Chain A
Amino acid sequence: QVQLVESGGGVVQPGGSLRLSCAASGFIFSNYAMYWVRQAPGKGLEWVASIRHDGSDKFYVDSVKGRFTISRDNSKNTVYLQMNSLRAVDTALYYCAKEDYGYYGASTLVYYYMDVWGKGTTVTVSS
């Protein structure tokens, strides 16, 4: 079945770095964009980063630009999130999610959504 498994979380001091991984299985990984979404303790969901199916384009929420880098290795069915210069506000449960899309009625417009999510990996930034 389609599955995403995150790893790499942990406790890190402010200013430190971590690399998260998300291993995918059960679908043709190289056909789909992938996303990272985070959730701070007791808070809502925040989209963090996106990467196109071939890695050609990457997109970030403003608060992580210049500090986080999303990448993927389609030969390993894995997407990564390199997090540098970590701050306390980056403390969160980090989910990876898979792109999918659908249509509405007879329209040819494409509607994107996140159809499969991993269970998440926890990042704690604290001294």
Chain B
Amino acid sequence: DIQMTQSPSSLSASVGDRVTITCRAGQSISRYLNWYQQTPGKAPKLLIYAASSLQSGVPSRFSGSGSGTDFTLTISSLQPEDFATYYCQQSYSTPLFTFGPGTKVNIK
């Protein structure tokens, strides 16, 4: 099984801040990495696939980078609706998947 870790587990930030979340895979997964956003009481929403490809309709302030084992999700200017929990997911072993433990972005 491919293990996924994320850091930090939580962070506090203000509107307008630049936020970076890191995801690490237990083995190389090339670019097979997706990012999801989950707001309280809602289903997850796909933000980015293939490590850096923005899903249709997702604001351009979200970006992803990385390959191999280390990946980042960056929000260039945090908006009020971005306070949520973010999960990375490896799809290298599709149709078996693993999610990271999540990073909660709180309001400072």
| A residues at B contact (CB < 8 Å) | 33, 35, 37, 44-47, 50, 52, 57, 59, 61-62, 95, 99, 102-104, 111-115, 117-120
Contacts and interface: CB of A to CB of B under 8 A. Distances in A.
- The interface centre, meaning the residue of A99, A114, A117 with most chain B CB atoms within 10 A of its CB, is A114
Nearest to A93: B43
Contact of B95 (A95, A103, A112, A117): A112
Nearest to B98: A47
Contacts of B66: none
Given A45-B36, A99-B95, 14 more contacts: A35-B95, A35-B97, A37-B44, A44-B87, A44-B99, A44-B102, A46-B99, A47-B96, A47-B97, A57-B95, A104-B53, A111-B34, A113-B91, A117-B45
Contacts of A50: 95-97
Contacts of B101: 44
B96 to A, nearest CB: 5
